[in-house]
Amino acid sequence: MSDAMFLIVCSIAFFHSVYGGTFSNPTCAPGRYTITHLFEWKWTDIADECEKFLGPYGYCGVQISPPNENRVVTSPNRPWWERYQPVSYKLVTRSGTEAEFRNMVDRCNKVNVRIYADVVINHMTGGGSGSGTGGSRYDGGSLSYPGVPFSSWDFNAGSECHSGDGDIHNYNDPNEVRNCRLVSLRDLKMSKDYVRDKVADYMNNLINIGVAGFRVDAAKHMWPGDLRAVFGKLHNLNTKYFNSGQKPFIFQEVIDMGGEAIKAAEYTPIARVTNFIYGIKIADVFRGNNPAKYLKNWGSAWGMPSPFDVVVFIDNHDNQRGHGGGGGVLTHFEHRAYKMATAFMLAHPYGFTRVMSSYDWPRNIVNGEDKNNWYGPPHNGDMSIKGRSIKADLSCGNGWTCEHRWRQIYNMVAFRNLVFGTTVNNWWDNGNKAIAFSRGNRGFIVINDDTVDVNANLQTGLPQGTYCDVISGNYENGACTGNEVHVGGDGRAHFHISHQSEDPVVAIHIGAKKGSPKKVIL
């Protein structure tokens, strides 16, 4: 073997050891490392958001709600979950038309913000018949979906599913979980070439329009081999926006909390998986039940998969309202702990990070269950989705929570961009619930989740200078709008963080150092 050949073989081997599956490599524009889930947003709002906010503030991309035609549910009235009942692969939904979808993808890509589509390919609707958001008919009783078309031949039935009533009950039986119906949703027979082709055609249509990858809904309910076969049919990304030969980034929704027969590890050789244990463990820490000092070895040592095999998040659209394995996680409703947890997530190198962006709804918790957890997005009288409004402090109105626009969060997205590639150094803790660490010599964070103040002189690892604390303010026109931190020639700085502060966190980085140009990407 020639030296050059040997080098190529080595770098391919290295690439595979770093990124588990062929589709595990995020397709962000250079310097960007975090996506946000703009749950139930309109395509026109997302296009505007890419240009005005996500591009300039350093986000990599957006996970969008499912873009394909779905069942129209009117009882309850237009719940968010109707979008998880596909009727066809036409691109017409409450979020907008196909033309609006195409316009969004183009405008976002032009400002270096990627679109990741949530694809619902395990199933079609539940029972009942009617019309979808694009006018296509469906009949879940006779298994007729002429908009694709799919007919009864294309669904798993008695020969594949042995649960009796056709629904999934036993999560210890992989066959039942994958071949029976998830909450009565008509289960596609992904072992069939015809079904694989229709699903791949849908995903390829999205790729050709310019999407950068996919969140695969209910991946645990499909056989890894079937997913591999479908993904094997996918085109490379559109060269209008991406380098030639680039594969889509795929993250599979596999809820593996450790107690069931199906393991996330069955899926990581194919593409990434969503790491659900992450948010549970983090909630435990930032509610003070497990002292933050233990985060010192956060990552695979906590029994979680390789950082290169996962997408991580504090909460998602399901578990923030008690769906999808749900409950127990921190959400925007617990804003103080939520901001702390998110700051930790974005400061720490483990995993590819996703920031949830929600809308508000009136919770009505009865016996631990939220009776209003079906509420759809803010809407107008005709049930069309209401646009988000933007306030002077950049936060949202009209019922949209927009966590991705909270200063304590968007500034940590920039922090993550600026420290990428460095390791955790200069770890400090107070022996209990206050911690600090640097990312190489580029960023430093202190988090006080304790019931006493932090009053300490700490080694930041950073070059001498005055830095803006990006939690209490911004670096604007050469000045800090919040607190300043003075790092001495020895790399040390003094931190005082009251345990009663609304934001008991201080974060500094080289992109917000006074006298240097402001940066949100390296």
Task: Select 44 or 70, whichever has its Cβ closest to ligand LAG.
Answer: 70
DSSP 8-state class, residue 30 = T
CB-facing half-sphere around the CA of 192: CA atoms within 13 A: 18
Terminal-to-terminal C-alpha distance of the chain:
38
Residue 389 burial (CB count, 10 A):
11
Distance CA 522, CA 153 (A): 53
Total residues at the site for Ca ion (CB under 5 A)? Answer: 4
3-state secondary structure of 109: helix
Q: Which secondary structure element, helix H or strand E, spans residue 493, and what is its range? A: strand 492-497
Helical packing angle, 407-419 and 335-347, nearest 10°: 10
The label of the residue with tokens 């127990």 reads 328
Distance CA 404, CA 428 (A): 28
Indicate the residue whose CB is closest to Ca ion: 221
Task: Select 298 or 359, whichever has its Cβ closest to ligand LAG.
Answer: 359
Helical packing angle, 193-209 and 224-231, nearest 10°: 50
Residue 218, contacted partner among Ca ion, ligand LAG, none, CB below 5-8 A by kind: ligand LAG
Question: Closest by alpha carbon to 345, among 358, 329, 333, 361?
Answer: 329
Residue 257, contacted partner among Ca ion, ligand LAG, none, CB below 5-8 A by kind: none
User: Is 106 a residue of the active site?
Assistant: no
Contact stretch for Ca ion (CB under 5 A) within 51-59, 76-84, 120-128, 164-172? 120-128
Task: Select 259 or 515, whichever has its Cβ closest to ligand LAG.
Answer: 259
Nearest-approach distance from CB 76 to ligand LAG, in angstroms: 9
Sign of the C-alpha dihedral computed for residues 326, 328, 332 and 338 taken in this order: negative
Residue 341 burial (CB count, 10 A):
23
User: Is 309 a residue of the active site?
Assistant: no
- Catalytic residue, chosen from 49, 82, 154, 217, is 217
Residue 198, contacted partner among Ca ion, ligand LAG, none, CB below 5-8 A by kind: none
Nearest-approach distance from CB 1 to Ca ion, in angstroms: 44
Task: Select 91 or 119, whichever has its Cβ closest to ligand LAG.
Answer: 119
Which residue pairs, CB below 8 angstroms and at least 24 apart, start in 236-239? 236/207, 237/27, 237/207, 237/210, 237/212, 238/207, 238/208, 238/209, 238/210
Task: Select 178 or 404, whichever has its Cβ closest to Ca ion.
Answer: 178
Question: Closest by alpha carbon to 147, among 164, 133, 128, 166?
Answer: 133
Task: Select 120 or 390, whichever has its Cβ closest to ligand LAG.
Answer: 120
- Catalytic residue, chosen from 45, 82, 118, 253, is 253
3-state secondary structure of 266: helix
Task: Select 57 or 81, whichever has its Cβ closest to ligand LAG.
Answer: 81
Nearest-approach distance from CB 141 to ligand LAG, in angstroms: 12
Residue 253 touching Ca ion (CB under 5 A):
no
- Residue 192 Rama label (left phi>0; alpha psi -120 to 50; beta): beta
Task: Select 291 or 325, whichever has its Cβ closest to ligand LAG.
Answer: 325
Chain contacts with ligand LAG (rule: CB under 6 A) = 81-82, 84-85, 120, 126, 182-185, 217-218, 253, 318, 323-324
Strands 475-476 and 424-429, bridge-based pairing:
unpaired
Nearest-approach distance from CB 463 to ligand LAG, in angstroms: 44
Task: Select 178 or 407, whichever has its Cβ closest to Ca ion.
Answer: 178
Residue 126, contacted partner among Ca ion, ligand LAG, none, CB below 5-8 A by kind: ligand LAG
In 164-262, DSSP assigns E strands to 213-216, 249-252
**Residues ≥6 apart with Cβ < 8 Å to 260:** 171, 172, 177
The label of the residue with tokens 């210890």 reads 172
Residue 97, contacted partner among ligand LAG, Ca ion, none, CB below 5-8 A by kind: none
Residue pair 343/437 in contact (Cβ under 8 Å)? The answer is: no
Nearest-approach distance from CB 89 to Ca ion, in angstroms: 17
3-state secondary structure of 34: strand
Binding test (CB under 5 A) with Ca ion, winner from 37, 221, 348, 405: 221
Nearest-approach distance from CB 185 to ligand LAG, in angstroms: 5
Residue 48 touching Ca ion (CB under 5 A):
no
Nearest-approach distance from CB 22 to ligand LAG, in angstroms: 22
Residue 315 touching Ca ion (CB under 5 A):
no
Binding test (CB under 5 A) with Ca ion, winner from 45, 49, 176, 187: 187
Residue 319, contacted partner among Ca ion, ligand LAG, none, CB below 5-8 A by kind: none
Nearest-approach distance from CB 509 to ligand LAG, in angstroms: 34
Q: Which secondary structure element, helix H or strand E, spans residue 488, and what is its range? A: none
75-94 positions binding Ca ion, by CB under 5 A: none
Residue 109 burial (CB count, 10 A):
22
Residue pair 452/504 in contact (Cβ under 8 Å)? The answer is: no
List residues with catalytic annotation.
217, 253
Q: Which residue ranges make up the site for Ca ion (CB under 5 A)? A: 122, 178, 187, 221
